[in-house]
């Protein structure tokens, strides 16, 4: 029997499956779960908060670090098991079948927990900076919501590429000091940004906050700058006016990570794993729970940091 966290007719619970889930992929590989991250999207799916029809029965979970059952090698698993194509066989199972194309090699020097906790946020940050904002050499990056998650990852990714970075957050003490990094609060943010940038404004704004903060980001950028919206912690209503664009000349683009072609997702994941292995990014604080507690992790309050579900095959030694 295979323990798995499943969504059955809208209810999330732990079941013992009679066989390894995930049959039907073009190139199936049996893997054992080591550590799976609980993404915001995973929680939204579990709570019925996604605007797409869901199958009556599917294994939950979208991304994980796994071990191949045939040779014991470790891989990061990121594939079409999320919302876009309809969940079919996710990663919250002690063993499951993944398509070989989903598996990205894990660097030897990177431990399981850091990979599971940091790769998704870092690859999303790289997509926002590289593909959507088209970040160019020497440009200054402003990150709204910079203390955790994709915001913190965007700070690390931009610094690793040699860009000046301004981290805006409600509590500046939560963002560690680093070379090339300026940390600011949100009060009178546009004026603070002008002072820091010599009046020019930020070239690129990564906005993980949304709500009324999106307009602050637009007014903190240079004319012709780019702002990428990839979260709405402060609310889905942005309250923007025409003058927010006319006065600033800024571009605003939304990000949908599920729409990224798989080949590009793989490239971004590979780079994220390399940056993690090199110590360029420290993931959010990690909260580990056994796979059996998956339903509570999905439906209960989300702790600060990144929740990981550990499979029975996970060995604590070395992590």
Rounded to whole angstroms, how far apart are CA atoms 225 and 209? 18
Tokens of 77: 């698993």
Neighbours of 160 (CB within 10 A): 18
Sole residue written with tokens 């007014």: 219
Neighbours of 97 (CB within 10 A): 19
In 3-state terms, what secondary structure has residue 191? helix
In 3-state terms, what secondary structure has residue 205? strand
Nearest one of 223, 214, 217 to 246, comparing CA atoms: 223
**Residue 178 and residue 152 in contact, taking contact as beta carbons nearer than 8 Å:** no
Long-range contacts, 166-171 (Cβ 8 Å, 24+): 166/140, 166/141, 166/142, 166/193, 166/196, 166/197, 166/202, 167/143, 168/142, 168/143, 168/144, 169/145, 171/147
pLDDT the model gives residue 314: 95
Q: How far apart are the first and last CA of the chain?
A: 28
pLDDT in tens, the chain (319 residues): 899 999 888 899 999 999 998 877 888 999 999 999 998 888 988 998 877 777 888 889 889 999 999 999 999 998 654 433 344 568 999 999 988 988 999 999 999 999 999 999 999 999 999 999 999 999 999 999 999 899 999 999 999 999 999 999 999 999 999 999 999 999 999 999 999 999 999 999 999 999 999 999 999 999 999 999 998 888 889 989 898 888 889 999 999 887 888 889 999 999 999 999 999 999 989 999 999 999 999 999 988 889 999 999 998 645 5
Q: What domains are defined for the chain?
A: 2-106+285-310 (3.90.180.10), 124-258 (3.90.180.10)
């Amino acid at each position: 029997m295979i323990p798995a966290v499943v969504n059955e007719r809208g209810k999330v619970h732990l079941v013992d499956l009679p066989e390894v889930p995930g049959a039907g992929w073009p190139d199936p590989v049996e893997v054992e779960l080591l550590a799976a991250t609980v993404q915001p999207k995973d929680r939204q799916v579990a709570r019925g908060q996604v605007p797409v029809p869901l199958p009556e029965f599917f294994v939950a979970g979208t991304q994980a670090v796994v071990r191949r059952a045939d040779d014991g090698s470790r891989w990061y698993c990121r594939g079409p098991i999320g919302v876009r194509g309809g969940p079919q066989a996710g990663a919250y199972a002690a063993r499951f079948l993944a398509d070989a194309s989903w598996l990205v090699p894990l660097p030897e020097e990177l431990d399981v927990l850091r990979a599971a906790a940091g790769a998704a946020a870092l690859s999303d940050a790289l997509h926002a900076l590289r593909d959507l904002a088209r970040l160019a050499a020497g440009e200054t990056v402003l990150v709204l919501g910079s203390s955790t998650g994709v915001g913190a990852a965007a700070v690390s990714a931009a610094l690793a590429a040699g860009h000046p970075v301004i981290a805006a957050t409600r509590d500046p003490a939560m963002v560690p000091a680093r070379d090339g990094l300026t940390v600011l609060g949100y009060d009178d943010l546009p004026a603070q940004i002008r002072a820091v940038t010599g009046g020019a404004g930020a070239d690129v704004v990564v906005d993980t906050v949304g709500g009324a903060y999106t307009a602050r980001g637009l007014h903190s950028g240079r004319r012709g700058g780019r702002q990428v919206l990839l979260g709405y912690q402060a609310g889905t209503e942005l309250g923007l006016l025409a003058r927010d664009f006319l006065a600033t000349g800024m571009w605003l683009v939304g990000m949908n990570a599920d729409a990224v072609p798989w080949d590009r997702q793989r490239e971004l994941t590979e780079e994220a794993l390399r940056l993690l292995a090199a110590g360029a990014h420290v993931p959010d604080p990690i909260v580990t729970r056994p796979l059996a507690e998956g339903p509570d992790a999905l439906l209960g309050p989300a702790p600060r940091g990144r929740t990981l579900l550990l499979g029975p095959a996970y060995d604590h030694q070395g992590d």
